[in-house]
Amino acid sequence: MYFGPVPVAEAAGTILVHSVRKSCLILKKGRVLSAEDVAALEAAGFATVTVARPDASDVGEDEAATRVAAALRGGNLSVAAAFTGRVNLFAEAAGLVVLDRARLEAVNLADESVTIATLPAFAQVVPGQMVATVKIIPFAAPRAAVERGEAALAEGGAALRVAPYRPMRAGLLQTELAGTKGPMLDKTVAVTRERLESLGGTLMHEARCPHDEAALAALIEAARPLGLDLLLIAGASAITDRRDVLPGAIERAGGVVEHFGMPVDPGNLLLLANLDGIPVLGLPGCARSPKLNGFDWVLQRLAAGVPVSREDVMRMGVGGLLAEIPSRGLPRAGVPEAPRAPRIAAVVLAAGRSSRMGGPNKLLADVHGTPLLARTVDAVLASAARPVVVVTGHQADAVRAALGGRPVTVVHNPDFAEGLSTSLRVGLAALPADVDGVLVCLGDMPAVASGVLDRLIAAYNPTEGRAICVPVAHGRRGNPVLWDRRFFADMARVSGDTGARHLIGENAEQVCEIQVEGDGVLADVDTPDGLARLMESSRSAGPTPKTGA
C-alpha cells in the first residue's frame, strides 16, 4: 500500500489520510476521493494531498475486519457492520464469554495490522453487550495476514462464543449447630435463590439437619432422586479439611470429593465434589453474602454448561483477589456501563400528500405485489434499528393498512399539511427515553438497502465525533440520516417542510459521511416518472436486500 503525498490531480480513488478544512470545503480522513472531491481540492488551491492507495496484495480495512470477524464469530454472537476498519461483536444471550486465548493471540501476534480485543475469559455478559472488537490498524491489511488470521480462527471450533445460561434446578442443604440462628439460615436460602435466578436457575429443594456427618449424608441421599442439576451444601461451621463433616458426608453418601480450596479471596474454602454425575459444592462462608466471591465464579460456569474441574479452580488465582480493603476503596462504586450496541431507533415519515404525483398516494403504489411504503419499512426492519416508528398523516387508514401488520409503532400526525417538520416532531415524541439516536427515514425511498442503515449505525459514535451519520453517493449527501439524541430538541423545533438539514451544516464537526454504492440513498419517488423507474429497477431485484451497501 502506498502512503504519502500525491498531486491532487492524481488523487481520485485514493483514501484521504488527513481531514481537509478550508473555507466551505470539509473532507474527513478515510474518505475515498471522488472526481468531484479532486475538483473541489483544486478549486480550493491544494496542489498535493496525503493519501493511502492499497494495491492488489492488500485488503481494504472494512473488508479485512469483516472477514476476520466472520471467522471469529461463535455461538450467541452478532456481528455489526464494519466502519473505519472496525467490526464489533455483541452478545445475543446472557451468559459467559468462552474463548481460545492461544488462537486469539496467534492472530494478534501474526501481523500488526490485524487486531482482536475481547472481554476476559468467563466474563458475564447480557444481550447487547460488546464482547469483542476487530480493528484493522492501517487503511488496508496485507491479504496474507488476513488469510492467516482466518485460518487460525477456523481451527478447532469457535475461538470466541457466549455460553448461555441454562435452566438449572438446584438444591440447598444446610447444617445447624446449637447456636445457629434460624434467620441466618433463612437469609442463606434467600441469597442463594437470588443467585440462581439471576443465572436462569431455580432453587427446587431446601433442607436442614444437625452439623453431623451421618445426618448430612442422609439428607444427601434423600436429595438423590429429586432430579437436581446441582447440589449446594452450606455448613454451620466452615470446612477446614478434606476430613471435615461436609466432605465426609458427601463420601458417605457415595459422592467423590474432587478438590478442596480455591485461590480466590473471598471464597478460599470452597469444596468441589460430584454425586452420580451431579456437581456438588460445599459453600464457603462468604456464599451467605450477596457480594461477589469465588463461589460465584464456579456457579456461573456451571449455569452456562461449562464444566469445572479441579484444575480450573486452581487456575482462578490470577485475578482472584476480590476482597475489598480500605486502601483499595470501593471498586464497584461508579463502575462505567459495559460497552453495548447503540440503541438506535428509526422514524419513517409517511404522512405526505404526494402532491407531485398528480393524485394517487405514492406510498400505496403497488411495486410488484408490495406497497411502496411496505418495501421501505421492510428494509428498515431488516436492519438493527429498533423500535421502528411510522408517522402517518394523509390517508392514514390506508397507509396503516398498507403496512400489513408489520411490527412497527404507528403514530398519526394531524398537522401533516403544515410540512415534514411536524411529522418529524411527532415521530421523535414517540421514541422511548432510552434510545441513543434515531435514523430519520423517508417513506418514499424503498431503494435504501438495510445494509446501508447498519453501516450508519456501525459508524455512530458520539464520543469520537460521529454524532450525525450521513450516507454519500456520487459526492452527494442522501437519506436517511442518523442523529444522536442530543439533537432531538433542536429537531423538534424545526418548522416548515425542510426537515433538519440545516443542523448538519451547523454541526459539521459531528458529521460522519458514509460512502455507499448505487443511487438508493439519493432516489426518492416524487413523480410518476420516478415511480416508473423504481418499477423497472426492482422488477428483477425482488424485495429490498439486506446487503448492497
pLDDT digits (tens, 9 = 90+) for 265-291: 999 999 999 999 999 999 999 999 999
Domain with CATH 3.90.550.10 in the chain: 344-537
Q: What share of the chain in percent tops pLDDT 70?
A: 95
The pLDDT value given to residue 193: 98
Contact 95, 76 (CB under 8 A): yes
Cα 401 to Cα 386: distance, rounded to the nearest angstrom? 21
Query: Cα(545)–Cα(549) distance, rounded to whole angstroms?
Result: 10
pLDDT at 531: 83
On the question of pLDDT at 329 being above 60, the answer is no
pLDDT of residue 547: 39
Indicate where the chain has its CATH 3.90.105.10 domain(s). 2-53
The pTM (predicted TM-score) of the whole model is 0.84
In this structure, the chain runs to a length of 549
Instruction: Give the model's pLDDT for residue 28.
Output: 87
Q: pLDDT tens for residues 119-167?
A: 999 999 999 999 999 999 999 999 999 999 999 999 989 999 999 999 9
Is the pLDDT at 4 greater than 90, yes or no?
A: yes
Residue 338's pLDDT band (boundaries 50, 70, 90)?
low
365 and 393 Cβ atoms separated by less than 8 Å? no
Check if the beta carbon of residue 393 is closer than 8 Å to that of residue 351. Answer: yes
Residue 359, pLDDT score: 66
Third-level CATH fold of 59-164: Aldehyde Oxidoreductase; domain 3 (3.90.1170)
What's the mean per-residue pLDDT of the chain?
92
**Going by C-beta distance under 8 Å and a sequence separation of 6 or more, which residues neighbour residue 193?**
203
pLDDT digits (tens, 9 = 90+) for 374-386: 999 999 999 999 9
Quote the CA–CA distance of 445 and 187 in Å, as a whole number.
59
Query: Where in the chain are all domains bearing CATH 3.40.980.10?
Result: 169-323
Q: How far apart are CA 533 and CA 549, in angstroms?
A: 20
Superfamily per CATH, domain 169-323: MoaB/Mog-like domain (3.40.980.10)
Average pLDDT over residues 11-34: 90
Three-state secondary structure of 218-264: HHHHHHHHHCCCEEEEECCCCCCCCCCHHHHHHHHCCCEEEEECCCC
What SS3 class is residue 358? coil
Instruction: Confirm if 58 and 144 have CB atoms less than 8 A apart.
Output: no
Residues 485-499 have a mean pLDDT of 89
pLDDT for residue 337: 60
Residue 183, Cα to own-chain centre: how many angstroms? Answer: 42
Q: Which three cell numbers stand for residue 255?
A: 459422592
Contact 33, 13 (CB under 8 A): yes
Q: CATH classification of 2-53, choosing from 3.90.105.10, 3.40.50.720, 3.30.300.30, 3.20.20.390? A: 3.90.105.10
Does the pLDDT value for residue 328 go beyond 70? Answer: no
pLDDT of residue 524: 85
Decide if pLDDT at 330 tops 50: no
> pLDDT by residue (tens digit) across 454-486?
999 999 998 888 999 999 998 889 999 999 999
Tell me the average pLDDT across 347-367: 85
Task: Write the pLDDT tens digit of every residue in 405-456.
Answer: 999 999 999 999 999 999 999 999 999 999 999 999 999 999 999 999 999 9
CATH fold, domain 344-537, is Spore Coat Polysaccharide Biosynthesis Protein SpsA; Chain A (3.90.550)
